[in-house]
Amino acid sequence: MKRSLLWLITACLGSLSFAACTQQPGTFILSGDDDGDGEGAGTGTGGSGSGTTGSGSPTSGGGSNAQAMFESQVFPAIATDCGSCHATGDMGAPVFLASSPSASYTAITGYSPTLIAVPENSNLILHGVHTGPALTPTQEGVVSAWLQAEADERGLAGGGGDDPTPTGKTLDQALDEFANCMDLTEWEENMANLPRADTANAGECSGCHTSGDGGAFLSLNTQETFDMNKQFPYIKRLVTGTVNSNGAFADLLPSNRFINKGLEAQSCDPQTQNCHPVYNLPPGIKTGIETVVNNTLERWHNNQCP
Ligand code: HEC
Ligand code: HEC
């Protein structure tokens, strides 16, 4: 029996002006064998790839079930939406995909800092809208099932191996804790001016980011901006997470997105791509961001959060 999934892809790319952002419906058909055994995503054997079939244990040398899952399900699901930047480096994106399923598997499993961890610990799931789109719910389901299979197979924290490591705190939880540790007064004193910061030729941040477009929320309402930056995905513009070698959550670090965004090389072609306006934040605003992030991290590290 054949099964097909219809995905609506939301795209908001191709123009600097958010007024021009549109919802572009795109149709992708994923077919696979469906034997109706209800095992859900992740056990399919259809499609291309290295062809591990059935429910055998990981094969040595010639790939694994998780690898086969990536190549037959994950790659086709994200190649178009994510590969446009993450296979090419366009827009300054880090490269963790490639043009073929197997080269992409090599790239994504070799990427540092690693994305291979249970979904609750992986930045692949926990990045959301940024320069690129968020994963759609369907894509997120496919990617999550694969990450869980990798964790199982590699015996990572949260994986269901013979000797599962205790999961401990997750990146997901750490982001919530960081949010609860953010302080409105501290934000007002240090970051109230950020939305009004100027770019070289395209006006103030708030002119484009007043509703959170591009995953950056900077409106002229300080309380609202504070509240939104406590939430995912906006909080990722302040901090990001790392995992250690067994896939357990390791730490939160400043992501410096508000500072670095304006400084990054603008090597893209403005005719065809969405290039961000250049800016260099005034020292006071830069220090303000660092103060908010570092003080919050310090409270969080010292268990001094409310
Ligand atoms: C238009 C280009 C573009 C597209 C399309 C795009 N991204 Fe990105 N992505 C970037 C850029 C630029 C960065 C670096 C800045 C940042 O961290 O957000 C990035 C960073 C990331 C990171 C952070 C990597 C790390 O080391 O923590 C993840 C994860 C990510 N993208 C996932 C995705 C996924 C998943 C998709 C598809 C749903 C996608 N991206 C589509 C441009 C893009
Ligand atoms: C003319 C409109 C415009 C202005 C003005 C603007 N931005 Fe953006 N910004 C965008 C667009 C479009 C995106 C999504 C595409 C991209 O990342 O380039 C974005 C994305 C971002 C991101 C998230 C993506 C990443 O790489 O982390 C950050 C952070 C950001 N902007 C910061 C700022 C800051 C800070 C200012 C003010 C100093 C500013 N922007 C001014 C249009 C604008």
Residue bearing the bigger pLDDT, 15 or 9: 15
User: Distance between CA 54 and CA 74 in Å, rounded?
Assistant: 18
The residue type of 198 is: D
Phi-psi region of 91 (alpha: psi -120 to 50; beta: other; left: phi over 0): left
pLDDT at residue 69 above 60?
yes
Q: Is 143 in the pocket of ligand 2 (CB under 6 A)?
A: no
pLDDT value at residue 112: 96
User: Distance between CA 128 and CA 20 in Å, rounded?
Assistant: 21
pLDDT band of residue 64 (cuts 50, 70, 90) is: confident
pLDDT value at residue 272: 53
Shortest-distance ligand to the CA of residue 218: 2
Q: Is 226 in the pocket of ligand 2 (CB under 6 A)?
A: no
User: Distance between CA 304 and CA 186 in Å, rounded?
Assistant: 15
HSE of 105 in the Cβ direction (CA atoms, 13 Å)? Answer: 20
With a pLDDT cut of 90, the percent of the chain lying above it is 68
**Residue of 225, 276, 286 with the most ligand 2 atoms within 8 Å of its CB, for mutation:** 276
**CA-closest candidate to residue 229, choices 263, 266, 257:** 257
Residue bearing the bigger pLDDT, 25 or 207: 207
pLDDT at residue 4 above 90?
no
**CA-closest candidate to residue 254, choices 223, 210, 292:** 292
User: Distance between CA 164 and CA 305 in Å, rounded?
Assistant: 30
Tens of pLDDT, residue by residue over 107-138, are 999 999 999 999 999 999 999 999 999 999 99
User: Distance between CA 290 and CA 206 in Å, rounded?
Assistant: 20
Tens of pLDDT, residue by residue over 186-199, are 999 999 999 999 99
Tens of pLDDT, residue by residue over 17-59, are 333 333 333 333 333 333 333 333 333 333 333 333 434 444 4
Summary mean pLDDT of the chain: 82
User: Distance between CA 220 and CA 42 in Å, rounded?
Assistant: 45
Q: Is 16 in the pocket of ligand 2 (CB under 6 A)?
A: yes
What residue's CA is closest to ligand 1, atom 33?
A: 82
Tens of pLDDT, residue by residue over 154-166, are 999 998 865 555 5
User: Distance between CA 145 and CA 68 in Å, rounded?
Assistant: 12
